C-alpha cells in the first residue's frame, strides 16, 4: 500500500455474501430390475423431487472455504423385460464438497465461520444424460447417467478493508451582471413612476383646496 493512501484505509464489519461458487456434477445411478425380470431395453426415465437435505462447513484454509452439500432425488425408470413393461424406482443421493474462495483471507477460527449461514441450492435439477444395461456381478442392471448443478453462498458478518477518499466541495461564487443600458432604462422608468405619483398627489391636494 502506498503512503498516500495509508491514512485513508478503514476496516468495517457488515452483513454480506462472504463467498459463492457453483459446480456441475455427474454421477451414475444403478437400478436393479424387479425379481425374475431381465431388462432388454430401457423405455424411459424421469428424475423428480430433488432437494437439499443438509449443508455444513468442513476444514478449510485462508484460501478456500469448503462446504459439504448433501441431497437426494427420485429416479423412475421403465423398461422392457420378458416381453412386458416394468417400472422401478430408486432414491439417488449426493454428497458434494464445494470450494468457495475465501475473500477475507482469514482462518475459520479468526472469522468464526461456523456461525455463518450457508445458502445451498440446486441450480440445475438432475437430468438423465443416457441409460444403458450393464452386467454387475452377473445381474443385468440399468445404469443411468445423471447430471446436476449445485450452488452455495456463505452469508454473514464480513470484515472488509475499504479505501475512503475525502469529498472536496469546490464552491464557486457567481455574480449577476446587469448591462448598463438595461440598468439605466430601469432607473429611468422608476423615476418616471415617482414623478407620476407626485403629480397625482399634487392634483388631489389642489382639488381639496
Domain map (residue ranges) of the chain: 12-163
Predicted TM-score of the model (pTM) = 0.65
pLDDT at 67 > cutoff 90? yes
Listed residue (58, 82, 78) closest to 68, CA to CA: 58
Question: Cβ atoms within 10 A of the Cβ of 71, count?
Answer: 20
69 neighbors 23 (Cβ within 8 angstroms): no
pLDDT at res. 152: 95
What average pLDDT is seen over the chain? 80
37 neighbors 82 (Cβ within 8 angstroms): yes
pLDDT digits (tens, 9 = 90+) for 12-40: 777 778 789 999 999 999 998 877 778 98
The set of residues, in sequence order, having a beta carbon less than 8 Å from that of 65 and lying 6+ positions away, is 18, 19, 57, 99, 100, 101, 102, 113, 154
Residues forming a β-bridge with 99: 66
Confidence category of residue 151, pLDDT binned at 50, 70, 90:
very high
More confident residue, 5 or 79: 79
pLDDT at res. 208: 64
Confidence category of residue 82, pLDDT binned at 50, 70, 90:
confident
Q: Running DSSP on this structure, what letter comes out for residue 53?
A: E
pLDDT at 90 > cutoff 50? yes
Rounded (10°) CA dihedral 114, 23, 64, 56: 20
What is the rounded CA–CA span in Å between residue 144 and residue 142?
7
Amino acid at each position: 500500500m502506498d503512503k498516500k493512501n495509508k491514512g485513508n484505509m478503514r476496516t468495517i464489519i457488515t452483513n454480506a455474501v462472504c463467498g459463492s461458487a457453483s459446480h456441475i456434477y455427474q454421477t451414475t445411478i444403478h437400478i436393479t430390475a424387479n425379481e425374475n425380470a431381465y431388462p432388454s431395453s430401457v423405455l424411459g426415465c424421469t428424475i423428480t423431487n430433488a432437494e437439499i437435505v443438509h449443508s455444513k462447513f468442513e476444514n478449510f484454509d485462508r484460501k478456500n472455504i469448503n462446504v459439504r452439500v448433501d441431497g437426494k432425488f427420485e429416479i423412475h425408470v421403465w423398461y422392457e423385460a420378458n416381453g412386458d413393461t416394468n417400472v422401478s424406482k430408486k432414491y439417488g443421493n449426493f454428497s458434494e464438497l464445494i470450494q468457495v474462495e475465501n475473500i477475507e483471507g482469514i482462518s475459520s477460527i479468526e472469522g468464526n465461520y461456523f456461525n455463518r449461514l450457508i445458502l445451498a441450492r440446486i441450480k440445475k435439477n438432475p437430468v438423465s444424460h443416457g441409460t444403458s444395461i450393464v452386467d454387475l456381478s452377473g445381474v443385468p442392471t440399468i445404469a443411468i447417467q445423471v447430471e446436476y448443478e449445485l450452488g452455495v453462498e456463505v452469508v454473514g458478518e464480513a470484515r472488509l478493508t475499504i479505501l475512503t477518499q475525502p469529498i472536496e466541495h469546490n464552491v464557486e461564487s457567481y455574480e449577476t451582471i446587469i448591462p448598463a443600458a438595461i440598468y439605466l432604462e430601469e432607473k429611468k422608468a422608476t423615476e418616471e413612476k415617482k414623478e407620476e405619483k407626485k403629480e397625482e398627489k399634487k392634483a388631489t391636494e389642489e382639488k381639496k383646496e
